[in-house]
Amino acid sequence: MKELSLQIDRLQALENDAWAAVEHQFAGRLYAYVARRIPDQQAREDVLQEIFLGAVRGIGGFDQVYTLEQYLFGICRNRTIDHLRRRRDTTVSSSPEGVDETDPLDQMAIERSNPGSIVGERDLRTRTRSLLVQVLRDWVQETWSQGEFKRLMVVEALFLGGWRNRDTWERMGLSGERAVAGIKFRALARMRALAGQGDADRGLLEVLSEEEGAVGGAEVLLVSDEWAASHASCPARHWLARHLNGSLDEGPKSFVEFHLSKMECPWCLANLDDLEQERVAPQALIERVQASTMNYLRSRTLPQEPS
Ligand SMILES: [Zn+2]
């Protein structure tokens, strides 16, 4: 965490080296995300450039409850949506090459909100939300380290996937709806305990208790939103690498496969593409994107001409 805030300080100071390092580290996975949704090569490049320019412009408001990757993916999603909207607006008539059966915009509508959009909505960033993110992460980490992957999958399906109890028990091979309700009940109880260990926040405890047996409502959405925005259950990149080379043990393997194939997590799929070098950004493209960011940084840091 210390390391991250140090890095953020340097990025906020618009240091060239710090930004070049970030682009080097993240261009591949961001490009992979864009490439899954935008077929045109030139447009992909433009969008990648816009993402980093957007990141530079927005870094002053970076919220440290998230990671840098979540911040960048949030902007990445927004810029991709912007591009797809513009393209849809300019091509009102049918596409020349037959039917493109899935509109990427429809696909993205089901992807949940993200730090990029939340950054722009400052009033939503309450202390309660920040604490909630921490509790969700702690709970996932604890459940993972206990080897309770089935429990992790069920709770992820409910909060991140928005599955209903009655769908979940069948798809997860549980004994019935009550088994699902029981898992959810115990998970929320544990989250409340985790929330109470630090400085307990009344709002947070309410959110986590009203979840119980709730049919819907604002609280459920809040937990689901923050689960998605904080990528609470996304396995770290090294787990994805081990998934690719087939070296995962049964438990983590089942969870990672569930997360990728059933949750269809867009961020992890982009990371996976990047690791597989499938939709990898050409080196020349990365260099052009870096040049464009550097240009912008230079324009921001040069002393203004006296008028
Ligand atoms: Zn993920």
What are the tens digits of pLDDT across the range 53-72? Answer: 999 999 998 888 888 999 99
- pLDDT band at residue 207 under the 50/70/90 scheme: confident
3-state DSSP helix/strand/coil % of the chain, to nearest 5 = 70, 0, 30
Read off the pLDDT band of 305 (50, 70, 90): low
Specify whether 9 is located in the same domain as 52: yes
Is 258 buried (19+), middle (13-18) or exposed (0-12) by CB count in 10 A? buried
Q: What is the pTM of this model?
A: 0.76
Comparing 303 with 144, the larger pLDDT belongs to: 144
Q: Is residue 273 part of a domain?
A: no
Question: What is the distance between the alpha carbons of residues 157 and 155, in angstroms, rounded to a whole number?
Answer: 5
CA of 267 to the centre of ligand 1 (A): 5
DSSP run (H or E) holding 13? none
φ/ψ of residue 110, rounded to 5:
-85, -10
The CA distance from 73 to 80, in Å, is 10
For the record, the structure tokens of 231 come out as 């990528």
Boundary residue ending a domain (173, 207, 233): 233
12-21, 63-72, 135-144, 274-283 — which is least confidently predicted? 274-283
The three-state secondary structure class of 16 is helix
Q: Minimal CA–CA distance to 226: which of 104, 139, 108?
A: 139
Task: Report if residue 162 sits inside a domain.
Answer: yes
Angle between helices 16-37 and 266-276 (to 10 degrees): 100
Q: Residue 306 — pLDDT band, cuts 50, 70, 90?
A: low
Q: Which segment, 108-117, 257-266, 268-277, is predicted with the most confidence on average? A: 257-266
C-alpha 145: how far from its chain's center? 22
Tokens of 281: 């950004």
152, 244, 271 from 250: Cα distances, Å: 14, 14, 21
Q: Does 45 share its domain with 65? A: yes
Q: Are residues 210 and 115 in the same domain?
A: no
pLDDT at residue 277 in the model: 80
Task: Output the CA 155–ligand 1 centroid distance in Å.
Answer: 14
| 83-97: average pLDDT | 70
267-301 tens-digit pLDDT: 999 999 999 886 667 777 888 888 888 888 888 76
In a domain, 274, yes or no: no
My answer on whether 48 and 138 are in the same domain is: no
Is the same domain home to 85 and 133?
A: no
Q: How many domains does the chain have?
A: 2
The one-letter amino acid code at 168 reads T
Residue 286 lies in a domain: yes
Q: Does a structural domain hold residue 11?
A: yes
How many CB atoms lie under 10 A from the CB of residue 215? Answer: 6
Ligand 1 centroid–CA 122 distance in Å is: 25
Average pLDDT in the 20-40 region?
92
Rg (CA), the chain: 21
- 66 and 85 in a single domain? The answer is yes
Token pair belonging to 265: 């997590």
Portion of the chain with pLDDT greater than 90, in percent = 50
Phi-psi region of 217 (alpha: psi -120 to 50; beta: other; left: phi over 0): left
Question: Which position has the token pair 């925005």?
Answer: 229
Same-domain check for residues 47 and 76: yes
**32: which 2 tokens?**
């992979």
Give dist(CA 62, CA 43) in Å, integer.
27
The answer to whether position 10 is within a domain reads: yes
Closest CA to 257 of 130, 122, 156: 156
Same domain, 93 and 199: no
240 Cα: distance to centroid of ligand 1 (angstroms): 10
Going from the Cα of 237 to the center of ligand 1, the distance in angstroms, rounded, reads 9
CA of 259 to the centre of ligand 1 (A): 6
For residues 144 and 131, membership in a common domain is answered with yes
Domain co-membership, 113 together with 136: no
Based on the domain organization, do 166 and 218 belong to the same domain? yes
Range of the domain at 186: 127-233
Does 214 fall in a domain?
yes
Specify the CATH number for the domain of residue 49.
1.10.1740.10
Residue 138 CA to ligand 1 centre (angstroms): 16
* H-type alpha helices, the chain: 2-12, 16-37, 41-58, 68-90, 104-109, 115-119, 127-145, 149-159, 165-171, 177-197, 202-210, 218-229, 237-244, 250-261, 266-276, 283-301
Residue 283 has a pLDDT of: 78
Q: Which two tokens stand for residue 185?
A: 């009940």
pLDDT value of position 121:
38
- Same domain, residue pair 96 and 146: no
- Cα(228) to centroid(ligand 1), Å: 9
Question: Does 239 reside within a domain?
Answer: no
